[in-house]
Amino acid sequence: MRYHALVPAAGSGSRMGGQDGAALPKQYLPLAGRPMIWHALATLCATPAIASVFVVLAPEDIHWPAPMMESLGPKLRVLRCGGETRAASVTGGLRAMASEPGASGDDWVLVHDAARPCLTVALVEKLIAEVGNDDAGGLLAVPVADTLKRGDERGYVLQTVPREGLWQAQTPQMFRHRLLLDALDFAPSVTDDASAIETLGLSPRLVAADASNLKVTWPRDLQLAERILQNRGPE
């Protein structure tokens, strides 16, 4: 069995506040001394089971720091085929991968957001081990701990939503290459890869992760991610 990582990194990070066109896209913001995207790529390249790491950039991206990324070694490959949405970027990446040497439709693809810099090799290995041979694939996720409220537009509680059985989906999410491409063609407007697989009637495996694998979405997430990385020290 062969495993590849696919990292969509063609977003602009509008919720980080960079809408003025001058600010850096979120994945390139400085974090613990490196551009944010470097951290997830370094973890994926350092995972022995992963044969290659494909990163999907926007075609017009001028921020990719090619010289720094060379130090991550020969597993890393750059695809400049990002799209309008995350799903379009992943789909474009899967198509481009198919024409690269050393990738086939039966291979596993671990899709991971560039905006989750605190991923560890141990979590990647746990995902691979727990999904095993299950063709429905799987994803890292965290059981919901807080009580959940549904609110109205004015900010008042409509109801309490039972949290039993609810999980927050993270990445990586791993599926066989051909199946994920078919699923995204069938359901192109999903916000994560597992949702596309679910529309085919399959049930991906939920693999328990922890909150340290957070997605940097809002400005304050950046400081939290920085503290997590710094407490860990160099790998």
The residue ranges that bind ligand CTP (CB under 6 A) are 8-15, 26-27, 56, 82-86, 89, 113-115, 215, 217
* Residue closest to ligand CTP, measured at CB: 11
- How far is it, in rounded angstroms, from Cα 233 to Cα 58? 31
E strand or H helix that includes residue 79: strand 76-79
* Backbone Cα Rg of the chain: 18
Residue placing its CB nearer to ligand CTP in the complex, 2 or 217: 217
Nearer CB in complex with ligand CTP: 178/215: 215
Give min distance, CB of 168 to ligand CTP, in A. Answer: 14
Shortest distance, position 59 Cβ to ligand CTP, whole Å = 11
Q: Which is nearer to ligand CTP, 25 or 204 (CB)?
A: 25
HSE of 128, CA atoms in CB hemisphere, 13 A: 21
For ligand CTP, the closer CB: 19 or 203 = 19
Q: Residue 83 or residue 137: which is nearer to ligand CTP going by CB?
A: 83
SS3 assignment, position 5: strand
- Scanning the chain, the segments in alpha helix (DSSP H) are 36-45, 66-70, 86-98, 121-131, 177-186, 193-199, 219-232
Preceding peptide of 172 cis, ω within 30°: yes
Q: How far is the CB of 26 from ligand CTP (least distance, A)?
A: 5
Nearest of 159, 135, 54 to residue 98 by alpha carbon: 54
Q: What minimum distance in Å lies between the beta carbon of 200 and ligand CTP? A: 22
> Nearest distance from residue 158's CB to ligand CTP, in Å?
25
